[in-house]
């Protein structure tokens, strides 16, 4: 036994020398792939052809990370700091980060008729959050077709609508940029003040919010709905996510409208239709999209707290949104309900949820909260800013939302690096990040149970 580790190291070294490959777990490969994409984006965004004004390497790195992680936080304004080439690079990083480089790799391999190795299959399963290899082909192509189809329709509508106020070429380019950004839940904008000039524009608001919802609801849900088309035949997970998304958006809509309707700095000066559109936009965009049509620095603390909660929850699994995910939140609510009413099983829509899923959900929430706590703690030492703004910034980065209370452009270098780490962790998922750092090992030892007081 004493010579086991050197022997394993020897065989691993021989295998690397023979095959030229290092065996790594799927989460590690995913993390490495995203990081490589970020580095590539950093180089491209720092080129003279990409910038109108001098952009530091740190700023380029921050913007590339924000794009690949589909966050939308910006230390510089993309419309003014980047040339057309730089803006195209930025939105390309958003598309690659949103759909995932693995999606493109799997589709390319299938198109070329190549068989996937077991290692590549494991990587794709990790990226798509699937358990069956047989579903990879269907999932990969569904992701591509659904995403590009939705984006194309939205871009066409926005282009025709904005053509009233801008030349056709300008309207087409801005529609292209915002259509991709909104569907991928990245809050980058080429308009001053995000989308505030469209606060009472029903077409723009409804198209953008529809893109945000469709992109954040999850590709597995969209695929299930597109194939089955009837409510009773949908998977229980699909039904739960659809119901949860609707309820969360409506709760946020009415809460924001009620709390801000008398605030002259946000909704108070708008007409009733304008207030409804603004409240709807802020409710939907808080679920990790990052656009705003009102000045969120002027809203009440109660509204800010609700937005932080919504950023914390996020969107659906296998989507362009982050946060702990709607499914995680609903599973934990069902677990609490079962415990309070002394039910042995956690049940959703007459389906029991396995203890492993409940434990995974609980672990995800605790890891997410721990990352947020450390992030807030560190940033309070780096910045002289109101605590609410710092908390909002950290949660926005970790949930890859992209909203800010005007704090991002003035952040110090340590805070910028901290936010890049949080955005990276939020996009990959806290559990994936932990798995990447420490592979789980199952112990064969079983210990006797004991009573333990909690609560």
Question: Average pLDDT of the chain?
Answer: 85
What percentage of the chain exceeds 70 in pLDDT?
A: 82
- Contact status, residue 213 vs residue 157, Cβ threshold 8 Å: no
pLDDT at site 144: 80
pLDDT at site 158: 97
Rounded distance between C-alpha atoms, residue 134 and residue 136, angstroms: 6
Out of 71-85, 202-216, 437-451, pick the least confident: 437-451
pTM for this predicted structure:
0.87
pLDDT at site 127: 55
Where in the chain are the domains? Answer: 18-437
Rounded distance between C-alpha atoms, residue 402 and residue 175, angstroms: 20
Q: Mean pLDDT across the stretch 208-213? A: 95
Sign of CA dihedral 160, 165, 170, 173: negative
Which residue is it, tokens 């390319």? 108
Q: What confidence tens digit (pLDDT) does each residue in 274-329 have?
A: 999 999 999 999 988 889 999 999 999 999 999 999 999 998 887 888 899 999 99
pLDDT at site 98: 86
Rounded distance between C-alpha atoms, residue 416 and residue 393, angstroms: 11
Q: Mean pLDDT across the stretch 245-266? A: 95
Rounded distance between C-alpha atoms, residue 337 and residue 353, angstroms: 13
Rounded distance between C-alpha atoms, residue 364 and residue 317, angstroms: 13
SS3 string, the chain, reads CCCHHHHHHHHHHHHHHHHCCCCCCHHHHHHHHHHHHHHHHHHHHCCHHHECCCCCHHHHHHHHHHHHCCCCCCCCCHHHHECHHHHHHHHHHHHHHHHCHHHHHHHHHHHCCCCCCHHHHHHHHHHHCCCCHHHHHHHHHHHHHHHHHHHHHHHHHHHHHHCCCCCHHHHHHHHHHHHHHHHCCCCCCCCCCCCHHHCCCHHHHHHHHHHHHHHHCCHHHHHHHHHHCCHHHCCHHHHHHHHHHHHHHHHHHHHHHHHHCCCCCCCCCCCHHHHHHHHHHHHHHCCCCCCCCCCHHHCCHHHHHHHHHHHHHCCCCCCCCCCCCHHHHHHHHHHHHHHHCCCCCEEECCEEECHHHHHHHHHHHHHHHHHHHHHHHHHHHHCCCCHHHHHHHHHHHHCCCCCCCCCHHHCCHHHHHHHHHHHHHHHHCHHHHHHHHCCCCCCCCCCCCCCCCCC
Rounded distance between C-alpha atoms, residue 111 and residue 430, angstroms: 32
Structure tokens at 35: 């990081």
Structure tokens at 161: 């609508």
pLDDT at site 202: 96
Determine phi and psi for 346, rounding to 5 degrees: -90, 120
Over 80: is that where the pLDDT of 443 sits? no
261 contacts: CB under 8 Å, gap ≥ 6: 267, 268, 275
Which residue is it, tokens 């469709």? 214
Rounded distance between C-alpha atoms, residue 25 and residue 95, angstroms: 25
Q: What confidence tens digit (pLDDT) does each residue in 220-241 have?
A: 788 888 878 788 888 888 999 9
Over 70: is that where the pLDDT of 379 sits? yes
Over 50: is that where the pLDDT of 262 sits? yes
Over 70: is that where the pLDDT of 137 sits? no
Over 60: is that where the pLDDT of 268 sits? yes
pLDDT at site 7: 46
pLDDT at site 186: 92
Q: What confidence tens digit (pLDDT) does each residue in 74-116 have?
A: 999 999 999 999 999 999 999 998 877 656 655 655 555 556 5
pLDDT at site 403: 94
pLDDT at site 15: 47
- Contact status, residue 337 vs residue 358, Cβ threshold 8 Å: no
325 contacts: CB under 8 Å, gap ≥ 6: 313, 314, 315, 316, 317, 364
What percentage of the chain exceeds 90 in pLDDT?
A: 60
Over 80: is that where the pLDDT of 50 sits? yes
Q: What confidence tens digit (pLDDT) does each residue in 153-198 have?
A: 999 999 999 999 999 999 999 999 999 999 999 989 999 889 999 9
pLDDT at site 124: 62
Structure tokens at 22: 């290092």
Beta bridge partners of 347: 352
pLDDT at site 222: 85
- Contact status, residue 319 vs residue 219, Cβ threshold 8 Å: yes
Determine phi and psi for 426, rounding to 5 degrees: -65, -35
Which residue is it, tokens 């936010």? 419
Structure tokens at 222: 């969209």
Beta bridge partners of 346: 353
Structure tokens at 69: 């992680």
Rounded distance between C-alpha atoms, residue 321 and residue 380, angstroms: 27
Tell me which of 434 and 139 has the higher pLDDT. 139
């Amino acid at each position: 036994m004493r010579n086991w580790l050197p022997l394993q190291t020897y065989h691993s070294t021989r295998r690397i020398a023979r095959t030229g490959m290092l065996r790594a777990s799927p989460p590690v490969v995913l993390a490495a792939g995203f990081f490589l994409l970020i580095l590539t984006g950093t180089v491209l965004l720092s080129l003279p052809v990409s910038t109108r004004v001098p952009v530091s390497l740190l700023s380029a790195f921050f913007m590339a990370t924000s794009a690949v992680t589909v966050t939308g936080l910006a230390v510089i304004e993309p419309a003014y700091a980047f040339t057309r080439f730089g803006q195209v690079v930025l939105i390309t990083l958003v598309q690659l980060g949103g759909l995932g480089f693995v999606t493109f790799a799997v589709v390319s391999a299938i198109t070329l008729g190549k068989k996937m190795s077991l290692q590549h299959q494991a990587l794709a399963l990790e990226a798509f959050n699937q358990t069956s290899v047989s579903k990879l082909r269907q999932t990969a192509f569904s992701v591509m077709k659904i995403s590009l189809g939705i984006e194309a329709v939205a871009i066409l509508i926005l282009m025709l609508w904005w053509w009233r106020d801008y030349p056709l070429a300008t309207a087409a380019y801005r529609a292209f940029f915002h259509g991709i950004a909104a569907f991928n839940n990245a809050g980058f904008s080429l308009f001053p003040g995000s989308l505030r000039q469209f606060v009472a524009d029903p077409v723009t608001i409804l198209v953008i919010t529809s893109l945000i919802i469709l992109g954040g609801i999850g590709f597995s849900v969209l695929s299930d709905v597109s194939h089955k088309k009837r409510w009773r035949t949908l998977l229980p997970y699909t039904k739960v996510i659809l119901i949860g998304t609707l309820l969360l958006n409506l709760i946020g809509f009415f809460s924001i409208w009620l709390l801000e309707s008398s605030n002259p700095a946000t909704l108070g000066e708008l007409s009733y239709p304008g207030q409804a559109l603004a409240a709807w936009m802020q409710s939907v965009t808080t679920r990790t999209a990052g656009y705003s049509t009102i000045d969120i620095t002027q809203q009440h603390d109660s509204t800010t707290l609700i937005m932080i909660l919504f950023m914390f929850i996020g969107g659906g699994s296998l989507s362009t949104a982050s946060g702990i995910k709607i499914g995680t939140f609903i599973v934990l609510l069902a677990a609490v309900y079962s415990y309070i009413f002394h039910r042995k099983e956690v049940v959703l829509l007459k389906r029991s949820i396995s203890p492993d899923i409940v434990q995974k959900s609980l672990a995800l929430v605790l890891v997410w909260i721990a990352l947020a706590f450390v992030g807030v703690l560190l940033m309070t030492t780096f910045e002289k800013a109101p605590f609410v703004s710092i908390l909002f910034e950290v949660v926005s980065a970790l949930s890859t939302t992209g909203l800010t209370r005007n704090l991002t452009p003035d952040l110090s270098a340590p805070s910028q690096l901290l936010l890049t780490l949080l955005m990276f962790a939020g996009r990959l998922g806290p559990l994936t990040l932990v798995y990447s750092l420490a592979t789980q090992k199952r112990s064969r030892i079983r210990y006797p149970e004991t009573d333990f007081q909690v609560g």
